[in-house]
Homo-oligomer: A and B are copies of this chain.
Amino acid sequence: MINDEFENLINEIKKIKGLNKKTAERMLIDFIENKDKLNSFIFKLEEIQKTYGVCEICFYYTFNGQCFICSDPIRNQEIICVVATINDAINIENNKKYKGLYAILGGEINLVRSVSPDRLHINEIFKRLDNKPNTELILALNSTFEGEVTANYIGNIAKKQNIKVSRIAKGIPTGGMIDYMDESTLESAFNNRKKYGGKQ
């Protein structure tokens, strides 16, 4: 029988995003067995606590006030990529192709889990667009039910306010095999087909 206090600790640790019970358990044991590792980890966390925060404009991570993306004058100020989480923005940044700005929602609309639109940074996006009629919103939201709901919600407001809005294409992922694709992916892939040499 595992100790109750120990079980509680694991449950506390697994509240952190990305951790499941097994990971939390391994982490905790590693800390107990290696006090030096635990000490330097606490030190690192205290550093994060003091120096990191979220950008006041786009809600990306930052060291001070504005993030390095919002404060970069070379980036295209007329495109704002709307993503659900900072992790999504990091993923797009790692790709090194996109050169516009971001707007991080801080989640997706999920009424089952009581995430209503007002709990996300949606109002802030439209405030940023005041007096900037040429700005385009690119919705880079997940192709899940929650992603669709969120995209529709933002898309509708944009339409009413006459704001340019687009959504990243859905289709077969790179390396994906037709044989394994679901119906809906295949349908999107056909609908989003592009010209490809030969006679059109």
Report which A residues bind B (CB closer than 8 A): 1-3, 5-6, 9, 12-13, 15-19, 22-33, 35, 37-42, 44-46, 48-49, 52-54, 61, 63, 68, 85-87, 90, 93-94, 96, 106
Q: Given the complex of chains A and B, what is the CA–CA distance between A40 and B106 in angstroms? A: 21
A38 near B49 with CB under 8 A, answer yes
Question: What are 9 A-B contacts defined by CB distance under 8 Å?
Answer: A1-B93, A6-B61, A18-B25, A29-B86, A31-B48, A32-B48, A38-B48, A41-B45, A42-B46
Closest Cβ of chain B: how far from A20's Cβ, in Å? 9
Contact partner of A23 among B19, B40, B106, CB < 8 A? B19
A48's closest neighbor in chain B, by CB?
B31
A27 near B17 with CB under 8 A, answer yes
Q: Given the complex of chains A and B, what is the CA–CA distance between A18 and B33 in angstroms? A: 14
A18 near B22 with CB under 8 A, answer yes
Where chain A touches its partner, the secondary structure class is helix
Closest 5 A/B residue pairs (Cβ): A18-B26, A17-B30, A18-B23, A32-B52, A29-B86
Q: A52 contacts which chain B residues (CB < 8 A)?
A: 31-32
Q: A86 contacts which chain B residues (CB < 8 A)?
A: 29, 32-33
A53 near B32 with CB under 8 A, answer yes
